[in-house]
């Protein structure tokens, strides 16, 4: 028995290396039927497994046979999540090899339905739930986490899950799903990932009244108590997992901007709904004019929705336009917003600080179509969660004054998209440059196949996180997201554009993430934010650290 091999395999760095049934119950170490005879001898596994010793490939085949037998996406989700809590290596091998098909299952859109029904499909806990009852002992709760060397925490309070609103503690599906993407898309070790849900109650009454709801059955705690819990959580992370990055995820508008502002310069933290979305949309919007034969600096953007996603994207566009030579004022003048109360203009008295910077001098305009007709934008960006709002008239208007109208319908899940890919191509006579938040199948229009781009945050956050881990960065800065967007846009090839894609194929995602990680880590080193010594070859260092879903020998 080689105990050295086993201790270096670092069973999450916690406790003794397990044997027997405890080993089979450890998702990071478990190999199931792939344990060899020698391992079964050494680790007390005889009798606990059937006689057959399978290879990883054979196990993958068994998973696929079972997976294909499922009749709904939710069943596929449940099957994969159960595989994940049983055997992470096998789970990631399957996901990584079938990312295109399985990302919509482990993440949007299926994860949205899974969150809505989380209490009903719940089987085995994953992640850490911190409730308002844990005030005063949050560090202790974090120490119960199964891993000792956590480097990435995705945390939600469940108040704004995708476009589905308040899902309370059911929101846990989101951190779990996002962290799976960190591993699948960028090779962050599963043992370094920790999903966290801050359960402060829910204002979703039907959910509270559901007997199978898993969270605190109380209305949301707000104000000082809420802020104190978040503060205690952030401080506890610094104490228990000092190298961990905190990703704020799916917090409602009222808290998301505030918390980002409060923590961004203090600890290693970012908000994916604001910064990640901003960067991924910017990358697509930067690549789109190459396809249209125009320049990014000449675009005019009209948003439907002025929330976290909209303002996040607007801020990134402004940064890029300034780099292209516009003044900040000119750049903001290129970004127009319509929210639930109409066009965002100076005369409105109801605007918060984030919208105010995009309030221009203009007559009131009540609806989106009128705004399109009046402003004649080159690009429309849907981040409102209002399905069908890019209707026939809007798309035809865009096609009237643009040779290649840029149409980004980013609202998630699919049911919330402002228009479908098919509608965008049909009503623009095949001329639209289309991207969406959730995936759409390729569309055939007048004999041409158009491949819609998916402005999925998974193109950005895994690479950003990996870069931060590699450099052990003290902070995540806006500059890093900007660099990530540019690195992503640069990887869109002419062949991608020829198919209508403004993002690289998902199949290339690990390579894409590595390039983004290099750009992010380089900034950490340049700005003196890194806590780890700079390696000679940054790219080589990054790829060497990326997790591969293969079994290691324990004997
Ligand atoms: P949010 O709640 O912060 O903002 C929603 C905005 O939409 C608000 O400004 C609201 O006023 C506006 N709105 C609502 N109803 C409207 C109406 N009828 N007409 C005009 N405006 C209206 O939410 P968010 O975080 O900004 O997310 C918005 C959507 O974007 C969600 O569906 C989310 O899933 C999606 N999103 C997509 C991506 C991506 O594709 N990469 C990333 C993040 C968010």
Closest CA relative to residue 302, chosen from 430, 428, 402, 387 = 402
Residue 280 Cβ < 6 Å to ligand 1: yes
- Domain interval for residue 450: 275-457
Active site residue 122: no
Domain presence at residue 505: no
Residue 344 alpha carbon to ligand 1 centre in Å: 15
Domain presence at residue 515: no
Domain presence at residue 487: no
Residue 27 Cβ < 6 Å to ligand 1: no
Question: Residue 43 is part of a domain; what is its CATH number?
Answer: 1.20.1370.30
SS3 sequence, 406-471?
A: EEEECCCCHHHCCCCHHHHHHHCCCCCEEEECCCCCCEEECCEEECCEECCHHHCHHHHHHHHHHH
- Which tokens in the block code for residue 314? 């607007």
pLDDT tens digits in sequence order for the chain, 555 residues long:
455 555 544 456 677 899 999 999 999 999 999 999 999 999 999 999 999 999 999 999 999 999 999 999 999 999 999 999 999 999 999 999 999 999 999 998 899 999 999 999 998 888 999 999 999 999 999 999 988 899 999 999 999 998 899 999 999 999 999 999 999 999 999 999 999 999 999 999 999 999 999 999 999 999 999 999 999 999 999 999 999 999 999 999 999 999 999 999 999 999 999 999 999 999 999 999 999 899 999 999 999 999 989 999 999 999 999 999 999 999 999 999 999 999 999 999 999 888 999 999 999 998 999 999 999 999 999 999 999 999 999 999 999 999 999 999 999 888 899 999 999 999 999 999 999 998 899 999 999 999 999 999 999 999 999 999 999 999 999 999 999 999 999 999 999 999 999 999 988 999 999 999 999 999 999 999 999 999 999 999 999 999 999 999 999
Which of ligand 1's atoms lies nearest the C-alpha of 437? Answer: 40
The H or E element spanning position 183 is: helix 173-186
Residues 36, 129: one domain?
Answer: no
Residues 283, 408: one domain?
Answer: yes
Contact 517, 186 (CB under 8 A): yes
Residue 119 Cβ < 6 Å to ligand 1: no
- Which tokens in the block code for residue 463? 């690479």
Residues 123, 93: one domain?
Answer: no
Which of the following is catalytic: 31, 126, 178, 416? Answer: 178
Domain presence at residue 372: yes
From 402, 432, 457, the end of a domain falls on 457
From 436, 457, 478, the end of a domain falls on 457
Which of the following is catalytic: 77, 107, 425, 547? Answer: 107
Residues 242, 118: one domain?
Answer: yes
Question: What is the rounded end-to-end Cα distance, in angstroms, of the chain?
Answer: 5
Residue 340 Cβ < 6 Å to ligand 1: yes
Answering whether pTM is above 0.95, one says no
- Which tokens in the block code for residue 405? 């109208």
Domain presence at residue 13: yes
Number of separate helices (H) and strands (E) present in the chain: 26, 14
Measuring from atom 4 of ligand 1, which residue has the nearest CA? 307
Residues 31, 178: one domain?
Answer: no
Residues 58, 175: one domain?
Answer: no
Pocket of ligand 1, candidates 164, 270, 307: which has the most ligand atoms within 8 Å of its Cβ, to mutate? 307
Domain presence at residue 72: yes
The H or E element spanning position 338 is: strand 335-339
Domain presence at residue 475: no
Question: Residue 318 is part of a domain; what is its CATH number?
Answer: 3.40.50.720
Question: E-assigned strands of 430-552?
Answer: 433-436, 443-445, 448-450, 453-454
Residues 328, 435: one domain?
Answer: yes
Domain presence at residue 193: yes
Question: Residue 171 is part of a domain; what is its CATH number?
Answer: 3.40.50.10380
Residues 406, 293: one domain?
Answer: yes
Residue 376 alpha carbon to ligand 1 centre in Å: 22
Q: What's the total number of domains in the chain?
A: 3
Residues 428, 365: one domain?
Answer: yes
Contact 346, 356 (CB under 8 A): no
Residues 386, 263: one domain?
Answer: no
How far lies 258's CA from each of 368, 405, 529, in Å?
28, 34, 23
From 457, 491, 524, the end of a domain falls on 457
Active site residue 178: yes
- Give Rg (Cα) of the chain: 24
Contact 154, 187 (CB under 8 A): no
Residues 162, 251: one domain?
Answer: yes
Residue 187 Cβ < 6 Å to ligand 1: no
Residues 106, 251: one domain?
Answer: yes
């Amino acid at each position: 028995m080689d105990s050295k091999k086993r201790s270096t395999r670092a069973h999450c760095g916690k406790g003794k290396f397990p044997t027997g049934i405890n080993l089979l119950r450890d998702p990071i170490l478990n190999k199931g039927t792939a344990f060899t005879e020698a391992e079964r001898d050494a680790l007390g596994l005889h009798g606990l497994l059937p006689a057959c010793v399978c290879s990883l490939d054979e196990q993958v085949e068994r998973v696929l046979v079972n997976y294909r037998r499922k009749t709904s996406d939710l069943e596929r989700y449940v099957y994969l999540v159960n595989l994940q809590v049983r055997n992470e290596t096998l789970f990631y091998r399957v996901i990584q090899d079938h990312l295109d098909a399985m990302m919509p299952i482990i993440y949007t859109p299926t994860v949205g339905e899974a969150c809505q029904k989380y209490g009903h499909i719940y089987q085995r806990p994953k992640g850490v739930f911190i409730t308002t009852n844990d005030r005063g002992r949050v560090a202790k709760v974090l120490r119960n986490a199964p891993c000792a060397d956590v480097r990435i925490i995705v945390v939600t309070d469940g108040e704004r899950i995708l476009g589905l609103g308040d899902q309370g503690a059911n929101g846990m599906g989101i951190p779990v799903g996002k962290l799976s993407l960190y591993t699948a898309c960028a090779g962050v070790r599963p043992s370094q990932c920790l999903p966290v849900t801050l359960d402060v109650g829910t204002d979703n009454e039907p959910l509270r009244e559901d007997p199978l709801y898993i969270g605190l059955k109380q209305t949301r705690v707000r104000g000082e108590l809420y802020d104190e819990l978040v503060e205690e959580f952030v401080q506890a992370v610094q104490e228990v997992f000092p190298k961990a990055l905190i990703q704020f995820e799916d917090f409602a508008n009222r808290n998301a901007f505030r918390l980002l502002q409060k923590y961004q310069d203090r600890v290693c933290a970012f908000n994916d709904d604001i910064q990640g979305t901003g960067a991924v949309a910017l990358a697509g919007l930067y690549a789109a004019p190459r396809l249209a034969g125009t320049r990014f600096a000449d675009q005019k953007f009209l948003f439907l929705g002025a929330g976290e996603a909209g303002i996040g994207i607007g801020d990134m566009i402004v940064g890029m336009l300034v780099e292209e030579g516009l003044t900040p004022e000119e750049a903001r003048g290129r970004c127009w917003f319509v929210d639930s109360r109409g066009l965002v203009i100076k005369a409105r008295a109801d605007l918060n600080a984030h919208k105010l910077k995009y309030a221009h001098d203009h007559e009131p305009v009540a609806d989106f179509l009128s705004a399109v007709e009046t402003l004649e934008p080159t690009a429309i960006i849907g981040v409102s969660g209002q399905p069908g709002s890019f209707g026939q008239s809007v798309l035809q208007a865009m096609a009237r004054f643009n040779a290649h109208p840029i149409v980004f319908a980013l609202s998630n899940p699919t049911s919330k998209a402002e228009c479908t890919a098919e509608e965008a191509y049909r009503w623009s006579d095949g001329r639209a440059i289309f991207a969406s938040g959730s995936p759409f199948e390729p569309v055939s229009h007048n004999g041409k196949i158009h491949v819609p781009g998916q402005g999925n945050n998974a193109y950005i956050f895994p690479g950003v996180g990996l870069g931060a881990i590699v450099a052990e960065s003290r902070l995540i800065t806006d500059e890093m997201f900007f660099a990530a967007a540019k690195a992503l846009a640069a990887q869109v090839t002419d062949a991608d554009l020829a198919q209508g894609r403004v993002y690289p194929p998902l199949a290339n995602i690990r390579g894409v993430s590595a390039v983004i990680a290099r750009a992010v880590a380089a900034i950490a080193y340049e700005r003196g934010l890194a806590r780890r010594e700079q390696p000679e070859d940054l790219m080589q260092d990054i790829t060497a650290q990326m997790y591969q879903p293969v079994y290691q020998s324990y004997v």
